Amino acid sequence: MNEVSLKGITKSYGAHLAIPPLDLDIPKGKFVTLLGPSGCGKTTTLRIIAGLEQPSDGELTLAGKTVFSGRDSHFVPPEKRGLGFIFQSYALWPNMKVDRNVTLALQQARKPKQEIAERLAEALKKVQLEGYQERFPSELSGGQQQRVAVARLIAARNSILLMDEPLSNLDAVLRTEMRTELKRLSRDLGATTIYVTHDQVEALTMSDIIVVMKDGVIQQMGSPYEIYHQPSNLFVAEFIGDPRINLFDGHLDQRDGRSVLRIDETEIVLPYTVARPSGAVRLAIRPERLTLHDGPAPNSLPAEVDVVQPTGSQTILSLTSRGHAVTALIPRFVERWPTRKVWLELDPAHIMVFDPQSGRLSETTNGAVRQVDAA
Ligand SMILES: Nc1ncnc2c1ncn2[C@@H]1O[C@H](COP(=O)(O)OP(=O)(O)OP(=O)(O)O)[C@@H](O)[C@H]1O
């Protein structure tokens, strides 16, 4: 069942159409991330769901109830939508102590005192802030303030949670910790969570479903696995993955039932058949699917090593192959590559073939796009 459903939702600011007609169905209990570059409409979409922004047209339903309809100007205000929020700026009341910040909504809903006290204690325990009830937000660190915002969500027990870049003000260590925390929260509450970020690592690590947006238009909606391994177009392929995916211009030949790729003088026979005629193509391969050799090898391009960057468990190698910048990712610590001239082997099973005009991923003849590894 879909917990959140947008049908033909649009939003214009004056003459600027920020969200062209948008259809989006979010299943109950899933952690769904809206991901995309700055200005792609993620926040606007979330604010529309929250009721903080009125759409120009369309229909929005939450848990089966229509909360906005452009047809009859029906609009349910945010406080009546039964949603929980966490935004980037924790949105705590600066003049209220932690206990009141956590329980304000429960008090306004006139819940019994005993229940409020129990929910407060439980929520503060979950975020490890027991004993902090009497502090004002200004007496807490950024991470602790964010945990108060999380405690408020726990106490409210909303079935739909909306989060807009909630971790962007935190330092790297805290961000990783809070990622785990928010994922656990969403799971423990059994909540449907809609999370906005432009950080692909957050999206890949936290989500059941990622929705990649560009200019208000959904480019792909799928599991992190699908988004990473089967990007539906070049925009998604380039947006996801750090270091970025490598792109090459190439030529596809359909020869005796086999698909053969050519990049300059290098020929690569693919282990699957691409469902498109012979001709120019755009090829993509992830940095971790390249292997370096010190002499000629099958499926390889000659290249030169420019820069070696160990990151700890992995090393990023920047190379140049026939004038093109290429990045390889090696799963170990390397300080110096022994030779400057190398051969860069492309793993044929992991080459993606895109239409050079439309940028769309070409399907394989088995009906689906390539399957790699086990999901
Ligand atoms: N109040 C407003 N008035 C005019 N234009 C707006 C307003 N709010 C958003 N926009 C425009 O709508 C588009 C989508 O903005 P939105 O904030 O949803 O993007 P975003 O993907 O969340 O970006 P970011 O990651 O930078 O927050 C942008 O082109 C933005 O300039």
pLDDT at 372: 52
Dist. CA 352–CA 51, nearest whole Å: 40
Dist. CA 275–CA 42, nearest whole Å: 34
Whole-structure pTM value: 0.89
Count other C-beta atoms under 10 Å from residue 375's C-beta.
9
CA 202 to chain CA centroid, Å, is 6
pLDDT at 89: 65
Asked if the domains 2-236 and 244-354 are classified in one and the same CATH topology, the answer is no
Give the single-character DSSP code of 251: E
pLDDT at 368: 41
pLDDT at 370: 52
pLDDT at 358: 95
CA of 204 to the centre of ligand 1 (A): 23
Cβ of 44 closer than 6 Å to ligand 1, yes or no, is yes
Given a cut of 50, whether residue 302 has pLDDT beyond it is yes
Least confident of 72-76, 209-213, 343-347: 72-76
pLDDT at 270: 93
Are residues 263 and 224 in contact, defined by beta-carbon separation less than 8 angstroms?
no
Site of tokens 């992830």: 286
Given a cut of 70, whether residue 90 has pLDDT beyond it is no
C-alpha distances in Å from residue 20, one per residue of 12, 62, 74, 211, 214? 8, 21, 20, 16, 11
Nearest to 193 by CA among 208, 178, 214, 179: 208
Dist. CA 144–CA 262, nearest whole Å: 55
Cβ of 36 closer than 6 Å to ligand 1, yes or no, is yes
Q: Which residues pair with 165 in a beta bridge?
A: none
* Residue located nearest, by CA, to atom 12 of ligand 1: 18
When the candidates are 2.30.42.10, 2.40.50.140, 3.30.1490.20, 3.40.50.970, the CATH number that belongs to 244-354 is: 2.40.50.140
What does the domain layout of the chain look like in residue ranges? 2-236, 244-354
The two tokens of residue 361 are: 């991923």
Please compute the mean of the pLDDT values over residues 295-301 and round it to a whole number: 94
pLDDT in tens, 305-355: 999 999 999 999 999 999 999 999 999 999 999 999 999 999 999 999 999
Model confidence at 375, pLDDT cuts 50, 70, 90, reads very low
Please compute the mean of the pLDDT values over residues 110-130 and round it to a whole number: 92
Cβ of 279 closer than 6 Å to ligand 1, yes or no, is no
pLDDT at 18: 92
CA of 87 to the centre of ligand 1 (A): 15
Cβ of 18 closer than 6 Å to ligand 1, yes or no, is yes
Cα angle 97-103-104, degrees, rounded to a multiple of 5: 85
Given a cut of 60, whether residue 28 has pLDDT beyond it is yes
Burial category of 351 from C-beta neighbours within 10 Å (exposed 0-12, middle 13-18, buried 19 and up)? buried
pLDDT in tens, 151-180: 898 898 888 999 998 888 777 887 888 888
Burial category of 346 from C-beta neighbours within 10 Å (exposed 0-12, middle 13-18, buried 19 and up)? buried
% of the chain residues with pLDDT over 90: 71
The CATH T-level fold of domain 2-236 is: Rossmann fold (3.40.50)
